[in-house]
Chain A
Amino acid sequence: MNDAEETARRLFAMAAEDVPPGIDLLHGVRARSRARVVRTRSVVAVGAAGIVAAATVITLSAVQAPSAFAQVSRAAALTAATSYQVSETQKIVAAGGKYSQSWTTASGEFDPARGVGEGTDNLGDQIRFAGGYAYRFVTAALRTASGRKIGGAIPAWASWERLASPLPPGANATTAQLAALARRPAFLSLIDPQDMLALLESATQVSAAGAASGPGWTGSAYTFGVTFSAPSAPAASISGTVDVDAQGRVRQLTVLDSVGQTERNLEITFGDFGLPVSVSAPPASETFIPPTP
Protein backbone atom coordinates (compact mmCIF):
# COMPACT_ATOMS: atom_id res chain seq x y z
CA MET A 1 0.00 0.00 0.00
CA ASN A 2 3.02 2.30 0.28
CA ASP A 3 3.13 2.70 -3.48
CA ALA A 4 -0.53 3.58 -3.45
CA GLU A 5 0.04 6.12 -0.72
CA GLU A 6 2.85 7.75 -2.68
CA THR A 7 0.73 7.79 -5.83
CA ALA A 8 -2.10 9.39 -3.89
CA ARG A 9 0.27 12.09 -2.65
CA ARG A 10 1.35 12.91 -6.20
CA LEU A 11 -2.17 12.85 -7.58
CA PHE A 12 -3.43 15.10 -4.79
CA ALA A 13 -0.62 17.56 -5.43
CA MET A 14 -1.63 17.68 -9.09
CA ALA A 15 -5.29 18.05 -8.22
CA ALA A 16 -4.53 21.09 -6.09
CA GLU A 17 -1.97 22.87 -8.22
CA ASP A 18 -4.13 24.80 -10.70
CA VAL A 19 -5.26 27.51 -8.31
CA PRO A 20 -7.46 29.91 -10.29
CA PRO A 21 -6.16 33.47 -10.55
CA GLY A 22 -7.86 36.28 -8.69
CA ILE A 23 -8.48 34.61 -5.35
CA ASP A 24 -7.76 37.07 -2.54
CA LEU A 25 -8.41 35.30 0.73
CA LEU A 26 -7.52 38.26 2.93
CA HIS A 27 -9.88 40.58 1.09
CA GLY A 28 -12.65 38.01 1.43
CA VAL A 29 -12.08 37.62 5.15
CA ARG A 30 -12.23 41.38 5.71
CA ALA A 31 -15.38 41.71 3.62
CA ARG A 32 -17.06 38.91 5.51
CA SER A 33 -16.09 40.32 8.85
CA ARG A 34 -17.60 43.69 7.92
CA ALA A 35 -20.73 41.98 6.58
CA ARG A 36 -21.16 40.11 9.84
CA VAL A 37 -21.13 43.32 11.84
CA VAL A 38 -23.68 44.93 9.53
CA ARG A 39 -25.83 41.82 9.58
CA THR A 40 -25.83 41.69 13.36
CA ARG A 41 -26.89 45.33 13.58
CA SER A 42 -29.67 44.72 11.08
CA VAL A 43 -31.21 41.75 12.79
CA VAL A 44 -33.46 43.77 15.08
CA ALA A 45 -34.67 46.01 12.29
CA VAL A 46 -35.25 43.09 9.93
CA GLY A 47 -37.07 41.18 12.60
CA ALA A 48 -39.50 44.02 13.16
CA ALA A 49 -39.97 44.53 9.45
CA GLY A 50 -40.46 40.80 9.02
CA ILE A 51 -43.38 40.77 11.40
CA VAL A 52 -45.04 43.56 9.44
CA ALA A 53 -44.22 41.84 6.13
CA ALA A 54 -45.59 38.53 7.34
CA ALA A 55 -48.83 40.18 8.34
CA THR A 56 -48.98 41.84 4.94
CA VAL A 57 -48.37 38.56 3.11
CA ILE A 58 -51.09 36.84 5.10
CA THR A 59 -53.49 39.66 4.27
CA LEU A 60 -52.58 39.77 0.59
CA SER A 61 -52.45 36.04 0.10
CA ALA A 62 -56.17 35.79 0.70
CA VAL A 63 -56.75 37.98 -2.34
CA GLN A 64 -53.72 37.83 -4.67
CA ALA A 65 -51.38 34.92 -3.96
CA PRO A 66 -53.70 32.21 -5.34
CA SER A 67 -53.90 34.19 -8.55
CA ALA A 68 -50.13 34.40 -8.93
CA PHE A 69 -49.73 30.76 -8.02
CA ALA A 70 -52.45 29.77 -10.48
CA GLN A 71 -50.95 31.90 -13.25
CA VAL A 72 -47.49 30.41 -12.86
CA SER A 73 -48.68 26.87 -12.40
CA ARG A 74 -50.91 27.13 -15.45
CA ALA A 75 -48.12 28.72 -17.52
CA ALA A 76 -45.70 25.94 -16.60
CA ALA A 77 -48.25 23.28 -17.52
CA LEU A 78 -49.19 25.01 -20.78
CA THR A 79 -45.57 25.50 -21.85
CA ALA A 80 -44.65 21.97 -20.93
CA ALA A 81 -47.37 20.69 -23.25
CA THR A 82 -46.34 22.59 -26.37
CA SER A 83 -43.26 22.49 -28.56
CA TYR A 84 -40.69 25.25 -28.20
CA GLN A 85 -37.17 26.42 -28.72
CA VAL A 86 -35.06 27.02 -25.68
CA SER A 87 -31.76 28.65 -24.85
CA GLU A 88 -29.96 28.40 -21.54
CA THR A 89 -27.14 30.16 -19.77
CA GLN A 90 -25.60 28.96 -16.57
CA LYS A 91 -23.33 31.19 -14.56
CA ILE A 92 -21.44 30.81 -11.37
CA VAL A 93 -20.93 33.86 -9.21
CA ALA A 94 -18.41 33.10 -6.51
CA ALA A 95 -17.12 34.70 -3.35
CA GLY A 96 -19.90 37.20 -2.93
CA GLY A 97 -19.63 38.52 -6.47
CA LYS A 98 -15.90 39.08 -6.37
CA TYR A 99 -15.62 37.27 -9.63
CA SER A 100 -18.16 36.01 -12.05
CA GLN A 101 -17.69 33.23 -14.51
CA SER A 102 -19.87 32.40 -17.43
CA TRP A 103 -20.15 28.67 -17.35
CA THR A 104 -22.11 27.22 -20.23
CA THR A 105 -24.67 28.09 -22.82
CA ALA A 106 -27.00 25.62 -24.45
CA SER A 107 -29.89 25.59 -26.88
CA GLY A 108 -32.38 23.13 -28.22
CA GLU A 109 -35.90 22.36 -29.32
CA PHE A 110 -38.42 20.10 -27.68
CA ASP A 111 -41.84 18.66 -28.37
CA PRO A 112 -42.88 17.24 -25.01
CA ALA A 113 -46.22 15.95 -26.26
CA ARG A 114 -44.38 13.61 -28.62
CA GLY A 115 -41.51 13.03 -26.22
CA VAL A 116 -38.81 14.23 -28.60
CA GLY A 117 -36.19 16.92 -28.40
CA GLU A 118 -32.55 17.71 -28.78
CA GLY A 119 -30.03 20.13 -27.36
CA THR A 120 -26.41 21.16 -27.69
CA ASP A 121 -24.10 23.23 -25.57
CA ASN A 122 -20.95 25.25 -26.06
CA LEU A 123 -18.80 22.40 -24.72
CA GLY A 124 -19.73 20.20 -27.67
CA ASP A 125 -22.19 18.07 -25.74
CA GLN A 126 -25.32 16.91 -27.50
CA ILE A 127 -28.36 15.21 -26.10
CA ARG A 128 -31.40 13.73 -27.79
CA PHE A 129 -34.69 12.66 -26.29
CA ALA A 130 -36.57 10.06 -28.32
CA GLY A 131 -38.53 6.91 -27.69
CA GLY A 132 -38.58 7.45 -23.94
CA TYR A 133 -34.81 7.58 -23.60
CA ALA A 134 -32.12 10.22 -23.49
CA TYR A 135 -29.01 9.80 -25.64
CA ARG A 136 -25.83 11.76 -25.22
CA PHE A 137 -23.17 12.22 -27.84
CA VAL A 138 -19.83 10.73 -26.85
CA THR A 139 -17.43 13.66 -26.92
CA ALA A 140 -13.68 13.29 -26.62
CA ALA A 141 -13.91 14.57 -23.06
CA LEU A 142 -16.59 12.06 -22.15
CA ARG A 143 -14.59 9.25 -23.71
CA THR A 144 -11.49 10.32 -21.82
CA ALA A 145 -13.36 10.24 -18.54
CA SER A 146 -14.92 6.93 -19.48
CA GLY A 147 -11.50 5.50 -20.17
CA ARG A 148 -10.62 6.38 -16.63
CA LYS A 149 -13.64 4.40 -15.48
CA ILE A 150 -15.60 7.38 -14.28
CA GLY A 151 -19.10 7.10 -15.63
CA GLY A 152 -18.49 3.67 -17.13
CA ALA A 153 -16.33 2.61 -20.02
CA ILE A 154 -17.67 3.50 -23.46
CA PRO A 155 -16.49 1.29 -26.34
CA ALA A 156 -14.55 2.91 -29.15
CA TRP A 157 -17.20 2.14 -31.78
CA ALA A 158 -19.92 4.06 -29.95
CA SER A 159 -20.78 7.61 -30.97
CA TRP A 160 -23.75 7.82 -28.62
CA GLU A 161 -24.57 6.56 -25.17
CA ARG A 162 -28.09 5.80 -24.07
CA LEU A 163 -28.61 6.93 -20.51
CA ALA A 164 -29.34 4.02 -18.26
CA SER A 165 -32.71 5.11 -16.97
CA PRO A 166 -35.61 5.70 -19.34
CA LEU A 167 -37.08 9.15 -18.94
CA PRO A 168 -40.56 9.24 -17.48
CA PRO A 169 -43.11 10.34 -20.07
CA GLY A 170 -44.80 13.66 -19.56
CA ALA A 171 -43.66 16.36 -17.20
CA ASN A 172 -45.15 15.61 -13.83
CA ALA A 173 -43.18 17.03 -10.95
CA THR A 174 -42.15 14.02 -8.96
CA THR A 175 -39.52 13.55 -6.34
CA ALA A 176 -37.74 11.17 -8.68
CA GLN A 177 -37.52 13.80 -11.40
CA LEU A 178 -36.25 16.45 -9.07
CA ALA A 179 -33.73 14.06 -7.60
CA ALA A 180 -32.64 13.18 -11.13
CA LEU A 181 -32.08 16.87 -11.75
CA ALA A 182 -29.68 16.92 -8.84
CA ARG A 183 -27.82 13.89 -10.10
CA ARG A 184 -27.46 15.11 -13.64
CA PRO A 185 -24.45 13.39 -15.12
CA ALA A 186 -21.24 15.24 -15.65
CA PHE A 187 -20.60 16.21 -19.28
CA LEU A 188 -24.25 17.08 -19.73
CA SER A 189 -24.60 20.79 -19.35
CA LEU A 190 -28.06 21.18 -20.80
CA ILE A 191 -30.63 21.29 -18.05
CA ASP A 192 -33.80 19.59 -19.22
CA PRO A 193 -36.31 22.45 -19.59
CA GLN A 194 -39.15 20.01 -18.92
CA ASP A 195 -37.61 19.28 -15.54
CA MET A 196 -37.48 22.97 -14.80
CA LEU A 197 -41.08 23.52 -15.89
CA ALA A 198 -42.13 20.63 -13.68
CA LEU A 199 -40.24 22.19 -10.84
CA LEU A 200 -41.93 25.51 -11.51
CA GLU A 201 -45.32 23.85 -11.55
CA SER A 202 -44.64 22.56 -8.06
CA ALA A 203 -43.64 26.00 -6.72
CA THR A 204 -45.59 26.97 -3.65
CA GLN A 205 -44.22 30.41 -2.80
CA VAL A 206 -45.32 32.56 -5.74
CA SER A 207 -45.71 36.33 -5.82
CA ALA A 208 -46.47 38.83 -8.57
CA ALA A 209 -43.49 41.04 -9.41
CA GLY A 210 -44.83 43.55 -11.93
CA ALA A 211 -44.74 43.75 -15.68
CA ALA A 212 -42.37 41.92 -18.00
CA SER A 213 -41.64 42.14 -21.68
CA GLY A 214 -39.31 40.85 -24.34
CA PRO A 215 -38.89 40.90 -28.11
CA GLY A 216 -42.43 40.63 -29.48
CA TRP A 217 -44.23 39.93 -26.22
CA THR A 218 -45.49 41.52 -23.04
CA GLY A 219 -46.62 39.88 -19.86
CA SER A 220 -46.09 39.59 -16.11
CA ALA A 221 -43.20 38.68 -13.85
CA TYR A 222 -43.40 36.47 -10.76
CA THR A 223 -41.02 35.35 -8.08
CA PHE A 224 -41.19 31.80 -6.81
CA GLY A 225 -39.62 29.41 -4.37
CA VAL A 226 -39.56 25.63 -4.31
CA THR A 227 -38.61 23.35 -1.47
CA PHE A 228 -38.01 19.72 -2.29
CA SER A 229 -36.05 16.75 -1.13
CA ALA A 230 -34.00 14.07 -2.78
CA PRO A 231 -33.51 10.56 -1.43
CA SER A 232 -30.96 10.36 1.40
CA ALA A 233 -30.56 14.11 1.52
CA PRO A 234 -32.00 16.93 3.57
CA ALA A 235 -34.58 19.24 2.06
CA ALA A 236 -33.26 21.89 -0.30
CA SER A 237 -34.79 25.00 -1.71
CA ILE A 238 -34.25 27.19 -4.71
CA SER A 239 -35.80 30.46 -5.79
CA GLY A 240 -36.17 32.42 -8.96
CA THR A 241 -38.24 34.57 -11.23
CA VAL A 242 -40.46 33.67 -14.14
CA ASP A 243 -41.87 35.83 -16.92
CA VAL A 244 -45.22 34.78 -18.37
CA ASP A 245 -46.50 36.29 -21.63
CA ALA A 246 -50.04 37.47 -22.36
CA GLN A 247 -50.84 34.06 -23.86
CA GLY A 248 -49.97 32.42 -20.56
CA ARG A 249 -46.70 30.79 -21.64
CA VAL A 250 -43.37 30.83 -19.83
CA ARG A 251 -40.95 33.11 -21.63
CA GLN A 252 -38.07 33.45 -19.22
CA LEU A 253 -37.14 31.40 -16.19
CA THR A 254 -34.33 32.36 -13.84
CA VAL A 255 -33.31 30.00 -11.07
CA LEU A 256 -30.92 30.90 -8.30
CA ASP A 257 -29.24 28.22 -6.26
CA SER A 258 -26.59 28.96 -3.69
CA VAL A 259 -24.04 27.02 -1.71
CA GLY A 260 -22.18 29.14 0.79
CA GLN A 261 -21.06 32.22 -1.12
CA THR A 262 -21.13 30.43 -4.43
CA GLU A 263 -24.24 31.12 -6.44
CA ARG A 264 -25.38 29.22 -9.47
CA ASN A 265 -27.60 31.14 -11.80
CA LEU A 266 -29.60 29.43 -14.53
CA GLU A 267 -31.50 31.38 -17.17
CA ILE A 268 -33.83 29.62 -19.60
CA THR A 269 -35.52 31.47 -22.44
CA PHE A 270 -38.46 29.88 -24.26
CA GLY A 271 -39.75 30.88 -27.67
CA ASP A 272 -40.93 29.83 -31.12
CA PHE A 273 -43.86 27.98 -29.61
CA GLY A 274 -45.56 25.36 -31.73
CA LEU A 275 -42.63 24.72 -34.05
CA PRO A 276 -42.38 21.26 -35.62
CA VAL A 277 -39.64 19.18 -33.96
CA SER A 278 -38.25 16.15 -35.71
CA VAL A 279 -35.76 14.09 -33.69
CA SER A 280 -35.02 10.39 -33.87
CA ALA A 281 -32.87 8.09 -31.78
CA PRO A 282 -29.28 7.62 -32.99
CA PRO A 283 -28.59 4.47 -35.04
CA ALA A 284 -28.50 1.39 -32.83
CA SER A 285 -25.16 0.40 -34.37
CA GLU A 286 -23.61 3.59 -33.00
CA THR A 287 -25.28 3.55 -29.61
CA PHE A 288 -23.81 2.10 -26.47
CA ILE A 289 -26.30 0.95 -23.84
CA PRO A 290 -24.58 0.66 -20.46
CA PRO A 291 -25.38 -2.40 -18.39
CA THR A 292 -27.85 -1.80 -15.62
CA PRO A 293 -25.95 -1.44 -12.33
Chain B
Amino acid sequence: MRRDSGIEERFAAYVRERGEHHLRVAVLLTGDWHAAEDLVQASLVKLYRAWPRLDTAADPDAYLRRIMINTHRSWWRARWRREAPAAALPESSCVEDIADRQVLGALVRQALAGLPRQQRAVLVLRYCEDLPESEVAWLLGCTVGTVKTHAHRGLRALRHLLGSEFDRYAVNETQGPQRDSR
Protein backbone atom coordinates (compact mmCIF):
# COMPACT_ATOMS: atom_id res chain seq x y z
CA MET B 1 0.00 0.00 0.00
CA ARG B 2 1.49 3.31 -1.05
CA ARG B 3 0.93 6.22 1.23
CA ASP B 4 1.25 9.93 0.94
CA SER B 5 4.62 10.96 2.36
CA GLY B 6 2.94 13.74 4.32
CA ILE B 7 0.79 11.19 6.11
CA GLU B 8 3.85 9.08 6.86
CA GLU B 9 5.66 12.06 8.29
CA ARG B 10 2.74 13.11 10.45
CA PHE B 11 2.40 9.58 11.79
CA ALA B 12 6.13 9.36 12.49
CA ALA B 13 6.05 12.74 14.22
CA TYR B 14 3.12 11.61 16.34
CA VAL B 15 4.92 8.40 17.41
CA ARG B 16 8.07 10.32 18.26
CA GLU B 17 6.13 12.86 20.28
CA ARG B 18 3.60 10.66 22.06
CA GLY B 19 4.96 7.11 21.83
CA GLU B 20 6.84 7.18 25.10
CA HIS B 21 3.84 8.51 26.98
CA HIS B 22 1.75 5.57 25.80
CA LEU B 23 4.62 3.22 26.61
CA ARG B 24 4.51 4.44 30.22
CA VAL B 25 0.79 3.82 30.36
CA ALA B 26 1.25 0.39 28.80
CA VAL B 27 3.78 -0.74 31.38
CA LEU B 28 1.24 -0.10 34.10
CA LEU B 29 -1.33 -2.14 32.20
CA THR B 30 0.95 -5.05 31.41
CA GLY B 31 3.40 -5.08 34.31
CA ASP B 32 6.67 -5.26 32.36
CA TRP B 33 8.48 -3.25 29.72
CA HIS B 34 8.75 -6.02 27.14
CA ALA B 35 5.01 -6.60 27.08
CA ALA B 36 4.43 -2.85 27.19
CA GLU B 37 6.56 -2.30 24.09
CA ASP B 38 4.76 -5.14 22.40
CA LEU B 39 1.36 -3.71 23.29
CA VAL B 40 2.17 -0.19 22.11
CA GLN B 41 3.70 -1.38 18.84
CA ALA B 42 0.77 -3.67 18.08
CA SER B 43 -1.59 -0.79 18.80
CA LEU B 44 0.42 1.65 16.71
CA VAL B 45 0.27 -0.73 13.75
CA LYS B 46 -3.53 -0.64 14.00
CA LEU B 47 -3.48 3.13 14.32
CA TYR B 48 -1.15 3.36 11.32
CA ARG B 49 -3.62 1.47 9.18
CA ALA B 50 -6.42 3.81 10.22
CA TRP B 51 -4.28 6.93 10.09
CA PRO B 52 -5.30 8.11 6.58
CA ARG B 53 -8.96 7.87 7.57
CA LEU B 54 -8.58 9.75 10.85
CA ASP B 55 -10.07 13.15 11.20
CA THR B 56 -7.00 15.35 11.34
CA ALA B 57 -8.69 17.51 13.91
CA ALA B 58 -9.31 14.52 16.16
CA ASP B 59 -7.08 13.57 19.03
CA PRO B 60 -4.96 10.56 17.95
CA ASP B 61 -4.28 9.85 21.64
CA ALA B 62 -7.92 8.96 22.13
CA TYR B 63 -7.85 6.54 19.19
CA LEU B 64 -4.63 4.93 20.33
CA ARG B 65 -5.83 4.71 23.93
CA ARG B 66 -8.93 2.86 22.83
CA ILE B 67 -6.93 0.51 20.60
CA MET B 68 -4.52 -0.23 23.45
CA ILE B 69 -7.30 -0.99 25.90
CA ASN B 70 -9.05 -3.31 23.43
CA THR B 71 -5.81 -5.00 22.41
CA HIS B 72 -4.80 -5.55 25.98
CA ARG B 73 -8.21 -6.95 26.77
CA SER B 74 -8.03 -9.40 23.87
CA TRP B 75 -4.52 -10.51 24.84
CA TRP B 76 -5.62 -10.99 28.39
CA ARG B 77 -8.52 -13.13 27.31
CA ALA B 78 -6.56 -15.15 24.79
CA ARG B 79 -3.44 -15.87 26.75
CA TRP B 80 -2.78 -18.04 29.67
CA ARG B 81 -2.74 -15.59 32.51
CA ARG B 82 0.60 -15.83 34.16
CA GLU B 83 1.79 -14.66 37.50
CA ALA B 84 3.18 -11.14 37.48
CA PRO B 85 6.05 -11.29 35.00
CA ALA B 86 9.02 -12.50 36.94
CA ALA B 87 11.36 -10.59 34.65
CA ALA B 88 10.56 -7.34 36.38
CA LEU B 89 11.28 -7.98 40.02
CA PRO B 90 14.32 -10.22 39.96
CA GLU B 91 15.85 -7.95 37.36
CA SER B 92 15.53 -4.99 39.68
CA SER B 93 16.30 -6.77 42.89
CA CYS B 94 19.44 -8.49 41.68
CA VAL B 95 21.42 -5.29 41.72
CA GLU B 96 22.32 -4.51 45.29
CA ASP B 97 22.78 -0.77 44.86
CA ILE B 98 19.69 -0.24 42.79
CA ALA B 99 17.79 2.87 43.67
CA ASP B 100 14.98 2.40 46.12
CA ARG B 101 12.86 4.37 43.74
CA GLN B 102 13.32 1.74 41.03
CA VAL B 103 12.59 -1.07 43.47
CA LEU B 104 9.41 0.66 44.52
CA GLY B 105 8.51 1.24 40.87
CA ALA B 106 8.86 -2.47 40.18
CA LEU B 107 6.78 -3.29 43.24
CA VAL B 108 4.05 -0.93 42.10
CA ARG B 109 3.99 -2.63 38.69
CA GLN B 110 3.81 -6.02 40.38
CA ALA B 111 1.04 -4.88 42.69
CA LEU B 112 -0.91 -3.51 39.73
CA ALA B 113 -0.42 -6.76 37.85
CA GLY B 114 -1.98 -8.56 40.79
CA LEU B 115 -5.25 -6.65 40.47
CA PRO B 116 -8.16 -7.78 38.30
CA ARG B 117 -7.74 -6.50 34.74
CA GLN B 118 -10.68 -4.11 34.77
CA GLN B 119 -9.71 -2.69 38.15
CA ARG B 120 -6.15 -2.18 36.98
CA ALA B 121 -7.31 -0.46 33.80
CA VAL B 122 -9.50 1.93 35.77
CA LEU B 123 -6.62 2.89 38.09
CA VAL B 124 -4.23 3.46 35.18
CA LEU B 125 -6.69 5.48 33.14
CA ARG B 126 -7.84 7.55 36.12
CA TYR B 127 -4.54 8.19 37.90
CA CYS B 128 -1.90 7.85 35.19
CA GLU B 129 -3.82 9.21 32.22
CA ASP B 130 -5.93 11.49 34.42
CA LEU B 131 -9.04 10.82 32.39
CA PRO B 132 -12.45 11.77 33.76
CA GLU B 133 -14.66 8.96 34.99
CA SER B 134 -17.03 9.35 32.05
CA GLU B 135 -14.25 8.80 29.50
CA VAL B 136 -12.91 5.81 31.41
CA ALA B 137 -16.41 4.36 31.39
CA TRP B 138 -16.65 4.92 27.63
CA LEU B 139 -13.27 3.31 27.01
CA LEU B 140 -14.03 0.26 29.09
CA GLY B 141 -17.63 -0.06 28.03
CA CYS B 142 -19.09 0.18 31.51
CA THR B 143 -21.01 2.66 33.64
CA VAL B 144 -19.57 5.56 35.59
CA GLY B 145 -20.77 3.83 38.73
CA THR B 146 -18.69 0.79 37.87
CA VAL B 147 -15.66 3.00 37.30
CA LYS B 148 -16.13 4.59 40.74
CA THR B 149 -16.42 1.17 42.35
CA HIS B 150 -13.31 -0.17 40.59
CA ALA B 151 -11.34 2.94 41.48
CA HIS B 152 -12.32 2.73 45.14
CA ARG B 153 -11.61 -0.98 45.43
CA GLY B 154 -8.47 -0.74 43.32
CA LEU B 155 -6.94 1.96 45.49
CA ARG B 156 -7.81 -0.01 48.59
CA ALA B 157 -6.21 -3.15 47.13
CA LEU B 158 -3.13 -1.23 46.06
CA ARG B 159 -2.75 0.22 49.51
CA HIS B 160 -3.10 -3.22 51.03
CA LEU B 161 -0.56 -4.77 48.65
CA LEU B 162 2.03 -2.05 49.09
CA GLY B 163 1.41 -1.77 52.82
CA SER B 164 3.33 0.81 54.76
CA GLU B 165 5.21 1.89 51.63
CA PHE B 166 2.03 3.39 50.22
CA ASP B 167 1.39 5.48 53.33
CA ARG B 168 5.02 6.29 54.00
CA TYR B 169 5.53 7.64 50.53
CA ALA B 170 2.46 9.84 50.81
CA VAL B 171 3.56 11.16 54.22
CA ASN B 172 7.10 11.82 53.00
CA GLU B 173 5.81 13.71 50.03
CA THR B 174 3.69 16.00 52.15
CA GLN B 175 6.23 16.48 54.93
CA GLY B 176 9.20 17.42 52.89
CA PRO B 177 11.45 16.70 49.93
CA GLN B 178 12.81 13.44 51.27
CA ARG B 179 12.15 11.86 47.91
CA ASP B 180 12.39 13.28 44.49
CA SER B 181 8.91 14.42 43.52
CA ARG B 182 7.79 14.40 39.91
Contacts and interface: CB of A to CB of B under 8 A. Distances in A.
Contact of B93 (A4, A95, A187, A234): A187
Nearest to B31: A15
B20 A28 contact: no
B interface secondary structure, majority: helix
Given A11-B104, A25-B41, A145-B89, A230 B155 contact: no
Contacts of A12: 28, 108, 123-124, 127-128
Contact of A103 (B41, B87, B104, B166): B87
Question: What 9 A-B pairs are tightest by C-beta distance, nearest first?
Answer: A141-B93, A236-B80, A16-B24, A149-B163, A15-B108, A260-B38, A7-B170, A94-B34, A28-B41
Contact of B41 (A29, A37, A185, A235): A29
Contact of B159 (A4, A139, A144, A189): A4
Interface string A125-149: 1000000000000011110110111
B23 A11 contact: no
Nearest to A8: B127
Interface of B: 1, 12, 15-16, 19-20, 23-25, 27-28, 33-35, 37-42, 44-45, 48, 75, 77-84, 86-87, 89-91, 93-94, 96, 101-112, 123-124, 126-128, 130, 152, 155, 158-167, 169-170, 173, 181-182
19 contacts: A9-B128, A10-B173, A11-B108, A12-B124, A14-B104, A15-B27, A16-B128, A37-B1, A123-B90, A141-B93, A150-B111, A182-B82, A184-B86, A185-B83, A186-B83, A186-B89, A259-B35, A260-B42, A262-B38
Given A12-B108, A15-B112, A233-B81, A5 B161 contact: no
A53 interface: no
Nearest to A6: B170
A6 B171 CA distance: 11
A44 interface: no
B83 A184 contact: yes
